Amino acid sequence: MSSPKGSEKKPASEVRSTATQNLKKKFKPPKDEHLLRKTKNKKPNNTFTKKAEGRVVKRQLPKFKSSHGKTPNSGAVQKFSRPPKTGQKGKEGAQDDQTEEDPFPGDAPIPHARLQKHKRGKAEDLDKNGVTFLSNRIHLKKKEKLVKYAVNLAARSEILLPEETGFLEPAKGDCTSEITQVQIKSSVDITSATKQFDLSMQFGPYAINYLRNGRKMLIGGRMGHVAAFDWVTKQLTCEMNVMESVHDVAWLHNETLFAVAQKEWTYIYDNQGIEVHCIKKLNNVLRMEFLPYHFLLATTNDSGTLSWLDVSMGKMVKRTHTHLGRLDVLCHNPRNAVLCCGHSKGTVSMWTPNFVSPVVKMLCHTQPVRSVAVDQSGVYMATSSIDCSLKIWDLRTYNCLQSYKLGCGASNITFSQRGLLAVSMGNIVEVYKDICTETIHKPYLKHFVGSSVSGLKFCPYEDVLGVGHARGMCSMLVPGAGEPNFDALESNPFQTKSQRRETEVKSLLEKIQPELITLDPFELGEVNRQSVIEKFEEKTRYMV
């Protein structure tokens, strides 16, 4: 259970365990590996010494020694590690002794891609024109070196991640889409097999939501059935019927609170199902999204109003009337917390609480948009329309990368943590792999559910896809969907109660203010140039 991948075994006949193979494929020695080495070799001792009043303050960056690599200085160690000499070797032996070199000199190379992942960009303008005084420049340059060191260290420490991702890999002539859930279930271990289950319920199409650490699940039936439970152990936290239509459900920052969008107003319940709040400002809500870093509950309603509610203070941050009609398509970009809404005119609009108009509006389809999803990195956006089209967009350039035709218009789409795209069409759920980067022709997995799908969510940190449909819900196994390595400080599936409390406090302290929601999250790190110029001009005016 520790990780989705590690615990799942695939059928030996059809599916080969792929983790190592994938790794092999992925880990191509980078092209500039030798370059890395070279640069390292140029400056083998990255020490910088400074004499400071009689005493040398010496800082030495720790060398990254590969386990096999030995530094030539450690002569004593080498001597011990060698077998004792037998007889007289003569001259040659002696020479050999001296000239024997480290076969892997310098630091062990870091794979290029991994290094690239942790890169922090280039330092600019740290010269005379940018910084006054030599000593400051020296300090900044030293800091730059440390930054580089930190990047290298971060890249290196990825080796400590215990789990690897892997997908189903078909045998020759087979394709993964033919593998059924039954087959997968039969071939995985018992713990993982329990993660595949169906719940048949009678309270109408279900909306579903997973907690951020992937441990708890919340379901809300249209006919008023609301239930929260630990979906792994199937332990019920609370269950009730609100005796009203339920449109959407959403967990708040942890498992103690959740929001339910009911017929008229939005209600907040605690983990015992006790109604904590009735938020009358959020009326006729259709879709809800919780922004975990901002503590904002973003909702859309049927009259086209978009609202952000700060759940830490209970304060309405912003209500925006979009004038774009009924808003029943909503998702949020995890990178910058911008909300994406789909509209009936084929457009997708992106909203922040800082503007009354959309920050970006793009025409994606010629017919109404039925669903929108943004991937974990915030780079790709998928949109689907009534006209059976599915498009992948690059959110850096806003260009269409891929355009697909499906058998039917996709009603729900969602991205997994590892970039799989799940699409529901009527009563079919299909999962696509590498859909953003490659043009694909076949789904990765396919599953028929009992009735038309109404809710679709991947479970974080698990290879599980939750599907809410008209007659209940079903949890299906999708190998390779979840992130295998979780950061326990970020979201911990095995959280204890005290840890939960601590995390709550910490996350509240680190809450990001709603003003900082922008399309470009790096904007905050920039200097307000306009004001700098103004101030400078004012100064010069007085000086003259």
Partner 1 sequence: MSNCLLATLSFTSSLLSSTSPPTSSSSSSSLPLETRLSSSSSSPSPLSVSLSAVFILAVSSVFILVESSSTPEEADGVTGVDEPKHDTMDQLLSAVQIGTGDGDSKAKKIQVNDLLSVIAKKTRLGALSKTVKQAKSRTQTLKVPLEKPQALRVERAAGYEKVKDEISRWDDTVKGNRNAEQLIFPLNQPSLKMCSSKEFTSKFKPKTPLEQQISELLRGNKNVQAEDQELTPAEQEALTSMSLKEALERRKELAKSRALQSYQETKARRQNKIKSKTYHRLLKREKMKNHVKEFEALKEHDPEKALEKLEQLDKKRIEERMTLKHKGAGKWAKLQAIRSKYDENARESLADQLRIGKEVTRKVKKSDDESDEDIPPIPLEKSDNPWLGGTESARPTTEITSGYRKLWDTVNKNKEIKKSMNEIPIKAKSKPKTKKQSVDREVNLSDLPASDDNESITSESPEMQEEFSEELNEGLVRKSTMEDFEQRDEEIEIDQIHRPKKTKSITIEEKVSETTKNKTKLVTDIDPFKFISMPDATIINSSVPVTEEGNEEEDEEEQRRMTLAEAFADDDVIEQFKEEKKRVVSASAPKDIDLTLPGWGEWGGSGVKISKRKRRQFIIKAPPAPKRRDENQGNLIINEDKNTNMRRQQVDDLPFPFRSAAAFETTIRAPVTSTFIPETAVRKLAAPKVITKIGTVIAPMTDEVLISTTNRNKESDDKMELENVKKSSRVKDKKRKRSELTATPPNKRKVRKNEWKITDKPAAKSLKK
Q: Which residues, 485 to 514, sit near partner 1 by CB under 8 A?
A: 489, 513
Q: How many C-beta atoms lie closer than 10 Å to residue 372's C-beta?
A: 26
**Residues 335-364, interacting with partner 1 (CB under 8 A):** 344-347, 352, 354-355, 357-364
Beta bridge partners of 268: 259, 277
Rounded CA-CA distance 192/1 in Å is 7
CB nearer to partner 1: pick between 9 and 139: 139
Shortest gap between Cβ of 219 and partner 1 (angstroms)? Answer: 18
Query: Of the listed pieces 277-285, 303-311, 321-329, 444-452, which binds partner 1 according to CB under 8 A?
Result: 444-452
Tokens of 318: 């912003």
Question: How do beta strands 275-283 and 285-291 pair?
Answer: unpaired
Token pair recorded at residue 152: 């290298």
Size of the site for partner 1 (CB under 8 A): 131
Rounded Cα distance, 91 and 95, in Å: 6
Under rule CB under 8 A, residue 108 binds partner 1? no
Q: Which amino acid is at 372?
A: V
Between 9 and 120, whose beta carbon lies closer to partner 1? 120
- Binding of partner 1 at residue 427 (CB under 8 A)? yes
| Residue 173 lies near partner 1 (rule: CB under 8 A) | yes
Rounded to the nearest whole angstrom, what is the least distance from the CB of residue 138 to partner 1 in the complex?
5
User: What gap in Å lies between CA 336 and CA 521, rounded to an integer?
Assistant: 6
* Interface with partner 1 in residues 109-168 (CB under 8 A): 120-126, 128-133, 135-136, 138-140, 142-143, 146-147, 149-151, 153-154, 157
- Among candidates 370, 384, 283, which has minimal Cα distance to 329? 370
- Residue 376 binds partner 1 (CB under 8 A): no
> Minimum distance between the CB of residue 346 and partner 1, rounded to whole angstroms?
5
Both tokens assigned to 396: 């850096």
At 427 the three-state DSSP class reads coil
SS3 label, residue 434? coil
187 in contact with partner 1 (CB under 8 A)? no
Closer by beta carbon to partner 1, 90 or else 103: 90
Q: Is 367 in the site for partner 1 (CB under 8 A)?
A: yes
> Residue 141, Cβ neighbours under 10 Å: how many?
15
**Binding to partner 1 in span 284-303, by CB under 8 A:** none
Minimum Å distance from CB 382 to partner 1? 13
Q: Which of 297/428 has CB closer to partner 1?
A: 428
Residue 148 or 277: the one with the smaller Cβ distance to partner 1 is 148
What's the residue count for the chain?
544
Under the binding rule (CB under 8 A), the answer on residue 400 touching partner 1 is yes
Instruction: Compare residues 78 and 271 and give the one whose CB is closer to partner 1.
Output: 78
Among positions 52-81, residues that touch partner 1 (CB under 8 A) are: 52-57, 59, 62, 76
Q: Is 9 one of the binding residues for partner 1 (CB under 8 A)? A: no
Question: Which region, judged by CB under 8 A, interacts with partner 1, from 1-9, 212-220, 326-334, 441-449?
Answer: 441-449
Q: What are the contacts of 11-18 at 24+ separation with CB within 8 A?
A: 11/183, 11/184, 11/186, 11/187, 12/187, 13/171, 14/170, 14/171, 14/174, 14/179, 14/183, 15/168, 15/169, 15/170, 15/171, 15/179, 15/187, 16/169, 16/171, 17/166, 18/166, 18/167, 18/168, 18/169
| Residue 440 binds partner 1, judged by CB under 8 A | yes
Residue 409 in the binding site for partner 1 (CB under 8 A): yes
State the minimum distance, in angstroms, from the CB of residue 249 to partner 1. 20
CA contacts within 13 A on the Cβ side of 314:
8
* Distance in Å, CB of 167 to partner 1, minimum: 18
User: Given candidates 36, 246, 311, 401, which one binds partner 1 under the rule CB under 8 A?
Assistant: 401
Shortest distance, CB of residue 241 to partner 1, whole angstroms?
Answer: 20
**Tokens at 369, concatenated:** 């948009």
Is the separation of the CB atoms in 229 and 240 below 8 Å? no
